[in-house]
């Protein structure tokens, strides 16, 4: 009989495997689950070098999988000024923070901020270029809106970005202008271009510091796998993730999506869909469909062609679609696909009208949703959404019952604690206490499945993770309470006590 490297006992194990849903001990060998069962059975796998972990009656579940987040944007956030609602409350607060940073930064340096939302500011609007000029006239300032699809730039940053009164605007983007035709500083769908093509890249020191910070953060949340869903991901980023993963600096496993423009580059490098290993795998093609300009972009014919091209190259397609018109465009494009085995995805799908729900039930794409948005952004959604859309927001139950629904956070746009995501999906409560469409609530078991089994399915990893059965990776989280029996309010208070990845303890509270 094989001897275990580690045995966890005195524990309630949630396996997420229907044939044996619970156990009281688990044995690990060579980074994989060796066996689950009762204490006596699992103790038979003990050898002279086996390490025992007494879990003191707590709960072990599969490591959480956040299948749609933005690691590199998270690094930017951690290294930037924080303009979230807990930090700033007015434009005066923003200007004061920018001015303070400018006083210590060399002239010409970039000052970046993240998490900005006009909804939470006293003025109920975003600052203008002129107001940012007053705070930092000799520095380039770019402040990212919380959704990352809008940014505010001062005059120097606008100039360096080539955004002037009469300069052309890329398709799908929008540059707001005042009555004289001058840019106000607010731009839509240009943040990726500015960060990747205009701002200086993160230095090696910043990358090292940032990766270490996000690694510790993910592990502290019990997150052992992520889906990097950024459209500007390219071969260089794949290599960066490989380097940090191989060095053990980035522990969570990564499924990296990328933009259509980089498709040929990966092929030239000998990389294709699924290339990599259990630590880093090349994922699907990310396509963003927006209607920031008042019309859907890309136009339907172009979107159809992009989806067909990606599928012919053998890739899963992940289409970012938030509002009604963009979701309908995504559904239309996916009707041109034929390879169901590629599990094409719709990301977000916030507004799900009866028409959309009917079409989704027929098409059955995999939908990746973000329950934390309902909690952290629900009050804002209710304030700005058209009345007819309010019953259609985040229809978890309808989608869960109709197709494969996976959970995620879209971090750093929203908090990425999976337990808070499950809480939001169960309670349907916003941070302000409002309840949105309670009939769309799901159970804790369904919520946990969204962040484990279904999330693994979204990245073609259901055979190696998402549940605790022999042969699968020993990625686990030790919790202070049982999410399956807790009330919603109790679930919100459950803490991560320990995170195990590849059979090793990688984080402890």
Do 226 and 211 meet the contact criterion of CB atoms below 8 Å apart?
Answer: no
Token digits of residue 470: 């022999």
- Cβ contacts of 119 within 8 Å, gap of 6 or more: 380, 383, 384
* CB contact at 8 A, 224 and 64: yes
Q: How far apart are CA 52 and CA 29, in angstroms?
A: 13
Is residue 332's pLDDT more than 80?
yes
Ramachandran sector of residue 68 (left: φ over 0; alpha: ψ -120 to 50; beta: rest): beta
* Distance between CA atoms of residues 104 and 118, nearest Å: 27
315 to 66, 226, 301, 457, 459: CA distances (angstroms): 20, 18, 19, 15, 12
Architecture of domain 80-198: Roll (3.10)
pLDDT at 283 over 80: yes
CB 211 within 8 A of CB 249: yes
Residue 345's beta-bridge partner residues?
318, 366
Cα separation, 508 vs 376, whole angstroms: 26
Confidence (pLDDT) at 304 = 98
> What average pLDDT does the segment 315-331 reach?
96
Range of 192-196, 295-299, 356-360 with top mean pLDDT: 356-360
- Contact yes or no for 437/395 (Cβ under 8 A): yes
Model pTM score: 0.92
Answer whether 131's CB lies under 8 Å from 143's CB.
no
**DSSP string covering 395-438:** -HHHHHTTS-EEE---TTSS---HHHHHHHHHH-B-TTS-B--G
Superfamily for the 65-71+202-501 domain: Metal-dependent hydrolases (3.20.20.140)
pLDDT of residue 423: 97
Contact 12, 486 (CB under 8 A): no
Report pLDDT digits (tens) over 375-417. Answer: 999 998 898 888 999 999 999 999 999 999 999 999 998 999 9
Asked whether 399 and 350 are in contact (CB, 8 A), the reply is: no
Check the CA dihedral 418-420-424-430 and report its sign: negative
Distance, in Å, from the CA atom of 60 to the CA atom of 500, rounded to the nearest integer, reads: 10
- pLDDT reported for residue 202: 87
Can you spell out the DSSP letters for 45-89? Answer: T--TTPEEEE-TT-EEEEPEEEEEE-HHHHHHHHTSEE-STTT--
pLDDT surpasses 80 at 265: yes
Q: What are the boundaries of each domain within the chain?
A: 65-71+202-501, 80-198
Q: Which range among 189-198, 218-227, 315-324, 360-369 shows the weakest confidence by mean pLDDT?
A: 189-198
Which of 182-196, 211-225, 260-274 is the least confident region? 182-196
Is 198 in contact with 163 (CB distance < 8 Å)? no
Confidence band of 284 (pLDDT split at 50, 70, 90): very high
Q: Are strands 6-14 and 59-62 parallel, antiparallel or unpaired?
A: parallel
pLDDT 10s digits, 486-496: 999 999 999 99
pLDDT tens for residues 55-88?
999 999 999 999 999 999 999 899 899 998 889 9
């Amino acid at each position: 009989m094989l001897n275990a490297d580690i045995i966890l006992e005195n524990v309630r194990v949630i396996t997420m495997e229907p044939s044996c849903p619970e156990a009281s001990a688990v044995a690990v060998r060579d980074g994989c689950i060796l066996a689950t069962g009762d204490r006596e059975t699992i103790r038979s796998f003990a050898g002279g070098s086996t390490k025992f972990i007494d879990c003191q009656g707590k709960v072990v579940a599969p490591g959480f999988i956040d299948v749609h987040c933005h690691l590199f944007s998270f690094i930017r956030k951690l290294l930037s000024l924080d303009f979230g609602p807990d930090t700033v409350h007015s434009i005066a607060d923003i200007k004061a923070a920018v001015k303070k940073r400018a006083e210590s930064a060399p002239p010409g340096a970039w000052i970046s901020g993240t998490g900005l939302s006009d909804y939470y500011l006293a003025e109920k609007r975003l600052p203008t270029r002129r107001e940012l000029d007053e705070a930092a006239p000799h520095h380039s300032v770019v402040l990212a809106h919380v959704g990352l699809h809008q940014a505010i730039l001062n005059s120097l940053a606008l100039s360096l970005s080539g955004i002037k009164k009469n300069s052309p605007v890329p398709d799908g983007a929008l540059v707001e202008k005042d009555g004289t035709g001058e840019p106000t500083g607010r731009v839509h769908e240009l943040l990726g271009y500015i960060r990747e093509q205009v701002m200086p890249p993160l230095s090696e020191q910043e990358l090292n510091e940032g990766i270490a910070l996000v690694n510790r953060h993910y592990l502290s949340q019990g997150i052992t796998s992520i889906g990097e869903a950024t459209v500007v991901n390219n071969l260089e980023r794949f290599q960066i993730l490989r380097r940090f993963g191989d060095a053990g600096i980035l522990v969570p496993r990564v499924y990296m999506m990328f933009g259509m423009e980089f498709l040929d580059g990966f092929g030239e490098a000998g990389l294709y869909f699924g290339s990599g290993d259990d630590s880093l795998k090349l994922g699907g093609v990310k396509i963003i469909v927006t209607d920031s300009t008042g019309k859907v972009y890309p136009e339907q014919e172009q979107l159809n062609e992009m989806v067909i091209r990606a599928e012919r190259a053998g890739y899963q397609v992940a289409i970012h679609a938030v509002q009604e018109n963009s979701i309908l465009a995504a559904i239309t494009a996916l009707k041109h696909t034929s390879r169901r085995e590629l599990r094409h995805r719709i990301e977000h799908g916030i507004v799900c009208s009866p028409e959309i729900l009917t079409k989704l039930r027929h098409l059955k794409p995999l939908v990746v949703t973000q329950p934390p948005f309902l909690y952290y952004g629900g009050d804002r959604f209710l304030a700005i959404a058209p009345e007819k859309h309010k019953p259609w927001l985040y229809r978890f139950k309808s989608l869960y019952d109709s197709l494969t629904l996976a959970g995620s956070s879209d971090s750093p746009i929203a908090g990425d604690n999976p337990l808070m995501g499950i809480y939001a999906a169960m309670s349907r409560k916003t941070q302000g206490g409002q309840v949105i469409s309670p009939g769309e609530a799901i159970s804790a078991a369904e919520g946990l499945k969204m962040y484990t089994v279904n999330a693994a399915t979204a990245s073609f990893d259901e055979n190696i993770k998402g549940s605790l059965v022999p042969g699968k990776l020993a990625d686990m989280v030790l919790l202070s309470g049982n999410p399956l029996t807790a009330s919603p309010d109790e679930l919100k208070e459950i803490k991560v006590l320990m995170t195990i990845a590849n059979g090793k303890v990688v984080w402890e509270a």
